[in-house]
Amino acid sequence: MRALERAGADVELTADRRAAQEADGLVVPGVGAFETVVQGLNGVRGAEVVDRRLAGGRAVLGICVGMQVMFERGVEHGTTSEGLGEWPGTVERLDAPVVPHMGWNTVEPPEGSVLFRGVESERFYFVHSYGVQRWAMDEDVRDDGSLRRRPPQVTWSTHGTRFIAAVENGPLSATQFHPEKSGDAGAQLLRNWVTSLR
């Protein structure tokens, strides 16, 4: 909350569905296990709030496990759990010599990224053992070969293997890293997101 306030947002922590639905932007944080976060969201019909916001073009930002649950499924400790299904893909254990991936790392944002404007070459703080290692969403192409809509912008990072560090997809954005723990670079990323809400 403090990081978003420093980024210029008027922040309210709420369990009120109407307030969550009507806010200019909604942040879905996540700490812990994929299945637990999904259960917590489902327990307050949070998945429905996210889905309705996105259907109406209203901004949502997922952070860490809050990003992971936007995918179709997560596999942790041999258990497969259904996610919110906003993006195709599976969250699975990173194939790396040391897990968890904890600390600062570089990212590879695509050209034209709104989130990473001004911090394209910076490092961000990660704390995770699981991630999405393959992007599975096809571009929406017309018969003449042109795109019907702008394809999602996917940012990558590497820890043992390449994994998705962030996604920008219309009103839905998400980061695997913690911008609130990423110093000046994370603060700028949050400012970029808050500014995009206006």
Task: Enter the DSSP assignment of 10.
Answer: -
For this structure, is 178 an active site residue?
yes
Residue 74, CB half-sphere, CA atoms under 13 Å: how many? 25
Active-site residue (options: 101, 128, 159, 178): 178
Using an 8 Å Cβ cutoff, are 38 and 73 in contact?
no
The three-class DSSP label of residue 72 is: strand
Active-site residue (options: 64, 101, 128, 168): 64
CB neighbour class for 180 (10 Å; exposed up to 12, middle 13-18, buried from 19) = buried
For this structure, is 180 an active site residue?
yes
For this structure, is 77 an active site residue?
no
Contacts (Cβ under 8 Å, ≥6 apart) of 55? none
Enzyme catalytic residues: 64, 178, 180
